[in-house]
Structure 1
Amino acid sequence: MEDSPAALTIVILTGLSGSGKSTALRVFEDLGFFCVDGLPVSLVPKLIGLFEEKGGQRYKGLALGMDVRQADMDTDWGATLAQVKGASSSLQIIFLEADTQEIIRRYATTRRPHPLESESRGLEQAVVEERTRMTPLRDAADMVIDTTDFSIHDLRRKLQEKWASIRVSTGTLKVHVMSFGFKYGPPSEADMIFDLRFLPNPYFEKALREKTGKDAPVRDYVLAADPGREFLTRLTDFLLYLLPLYAREGRYRLTIAFGCTGGRHRSVAVAEAVFDTLSKAGYNLSLEHRHIERG
């Protein structure tokens, strides 16, 4: 992502406790951002003002870690977000989450208490309560990352890939295009899922099996002839009709997922083609191939 010298890039890293926010902050620190964790929500506008005033130009931007531990998160978040968005700064919100059982496992491993645990609320109840309380932030996020199956190194790599793929253009609707493999499970954050297992499968062609949907021979095998060609035409027409309707209703973020058996061939080829079409149409986009290496 290229930063304009006239705008301060602000990244708010938030999400569920135990989903990897601290790791994400370290990634942005390595990318040259000035990072602050645990800042009260009401102080965010003041910090931004100080950062701009005191010469934050030597940093790529400002990354803020915010979660349910901030006592004013529930009451001040909406007003603060509106205030920051109303300024001239460039703002991106990244929300990290994970399956409840995985978060419980991580807390059991580290033996640390959850921020919402108490004498009357156990760990699982605390995770469920936090998920509910954090829903407004998730809904406002530009990017949602499910870290259930990620190691620390996976999260670092995926976050760097996702951040690098963000395309900034005019308009407010942010579209995340994703490929995945059904054998590994569909993505929980997807708003729309398209099952592509009706398309011809390159896996059964020996010359194509080790390639991916990014490679031209696989792409041509899937999309150069019917049914793939006709499907892609109808799909892109449908999306170009549908997305403006979502934007008109005030939708802020939309995740479109394409799945095949292993997430390596058909889903990747279609996701790449859709991403290319929507890029030319001027949408704010990010692209993820979740299972391309596993498939």
Structure 2
Amino acid sequence: MRFLIVTGLSGAGKTQVLHFLEDMGYYCVDNMPPSLLSKFAEICYKSQGKINKVALGIDIRGREMFSEIFTELSSLKNYGYDYEILFMDASDEVLVKRYKESRRLHPLIRDDGRIIDGILAERQMLKELKERANHVIDTSDLLVRQLKDRIYSLFAEGVKESTITINIISFGFKFGIPMDSDLVFDVRFLPNPYYVEELKYLTGYDSKVRDYVLKFPQTHEFMTKLVDLINFLLPHYIEEGKNQLVISIGCTGGKHRSATIAIKLYEALKKSGYRVIISHRDIDKREA
């Protein structure tokens, strides 16, 4: 089990890191009271494998409770619970700039206080915790994409960074294009099984329909070009930090051609090792 405590200076990127870890399959809890740390660890370690990757965000928002963290860390060690500490840091100048841009108050100052005073006080409070950290990341000069790369390199545990989720949706143009589409492909140029009497009332779920659609040369050429295009795009989407891609494939009614092409694309991307989800939005809709 991997038990990770994410802490550090306010404004240094803890929340963003927890989002990345959540996308990687970690069970994440932000702003956990330090006094609950050992109890929560016990629950996780006794979950019999139901929880095997945990990331907890702990910081000075807990104010007076924060001092309990060292007692809790000692308890974790005494109980034999392994843990790691990731400390997020940034320069004073960068933190001041981020607070000014967000127009938020530092958690250690009041309305009439100076941001820099809160940062300096927090840095002093966290000094010992930083010294105990297994990993320290300074985000002063990091882009979001670069921070993501660092987190994946440290905590992905062999899972390639392409944890982008690909949603493939087949649909009928007569019912409208899915509103969350990133890419839309129109396959109405392919021969339509609807006009073949024995296939009319079947769908792309049926092998007879798929065999019919796939027997044409233009279908094979289109599939080759489509898979090549998607495989070209995916690494670039991942590099830019995109974690979900919705590919919509449409025909007239969403029952035959689009469903067939969606299934073939799903199989191709699955084979390449991507996380893929397929749905057929209109396949069971009745004709108007």
Partner of 1:180: none
Determine which of 69, 82, 88 is the counterpart of 1:96.
88
CA contact (8 A) 1:35 1:62 kept: yes
Q: Match of 1:138?
A: 130
What amino acid does structure 1 have at the position aligned with 2:107?
P
Q: Determine helix, strand or coil for the equivalent of 1:149.
A: coil
Is the contact made by 2:6 and 2:57 (CA closer than 8 Å) also made in structure 1?
yes
1:194-239 per-residue CA deviation (whole Å, 9 max, x = no partner) reads xxxxxxxxxxxxxxxxxxxxxxxxxxxxxxxxxxxxxxxxxxxxxx
**Contact conserved, 1:16 with 1:98, CA < 8 A, in 2?**
yes
Question: 1:116-175: per-residue Cα shift (whole Å, max 9, x none)?
Answer: 121453101111111011101101100111000012221111121133589xxxxxxxxx
1:110 maps to which residue? 102
Tell me which residue corresponds to 2:116: 124
Name the amino acid aligned to 1:46: K
Q: Aligned to 1:31, which of 13, 24, 27?
A: 24
How many residue pairs match? The answer is 158
Q: Is the 8 A contact 2:3 2:84 kept in 1?
A: yes
Aligned to 2:53: 61
2:11 to 18, 25, 28: 18
CA contact (8 A) 2:44 2:51 kept: no
Code of the aligned partner of 1:20 = G
User: Does the aligned pair in 2 maintain the 1:14–1:66 contact within 8 Å?
Assistant: yes
SS of equivalent to 1:62:
strand
State how far apart, in whole Å, the 2-side matches of 1:111 and 1:151 are.
21
Q: Structure 1 residues 153 and 73, CA, compared in 2 at 3 Å: closer, same or farther?
A: farther
Aligned to 2:34: 41
d(CA) in 1 for partners of 2:7 and 2:74? 17
In 1, are the aligned partners of 2:33 and 2:66 still within 8 Å (CA)? no
What's the offset of the Cα at 1:111?
Answer: 1.3
Rounded to whole Å, the distance in 2 between the matches of 1:33 and 1:43 is: 19
CA offset at residue 72 of structure 1?
4.0
Question: 1:1-295 counterparts in 2 under 5 A?
Answer: 8-55=1-48, 57-119=49-111, 121-163=113-155
Q: Is the 8 A contact 1:41 1:72 kept in 2?
A: no
The one-character-per-residue Cα deviations of 1:8-37 (angstroms, maximum 9, x if unpaired) are 321000000000000111121112111111
Structure 2 residues not aligned, in runs of 5+ = 159-288
Distance 2:6 2:115 in 1: 23
Task: State how far apart, in whole Å, the 2-side matches of 1:154 and 1:68 are.
Answer: 26
Distance 1:158 1:47 in 2: 27
CA distance in 2, matches of 1:58, 1:50: 10
Q: Percent identity?
A: 30
Instruction: Please tell me whether the aligned partners of residues 6 and 87 of structure 2 are also in contact (alpha carbons under 8 angstroms).
Output: yes
Q: RMSD of the alignment, in Å?
A: 2.0
2:90 aligned partner, one-letter code: A
CA contact (8 A) 2:28 2:54 kept: yes
Find the residue that maps to 1:58 and give its secondary structure. coil
Letter in 1 for 2:50: R
Structure 1, gaps ≥5 residues long: 1-7, 167-295
What letter is aligned with 1:38?
A: N
Q: Which has the larger radius of gyration?
A: 2
- SS of equivalent residue, structure 1 residue 148: coil
SS of residue matched to 2:83: strand
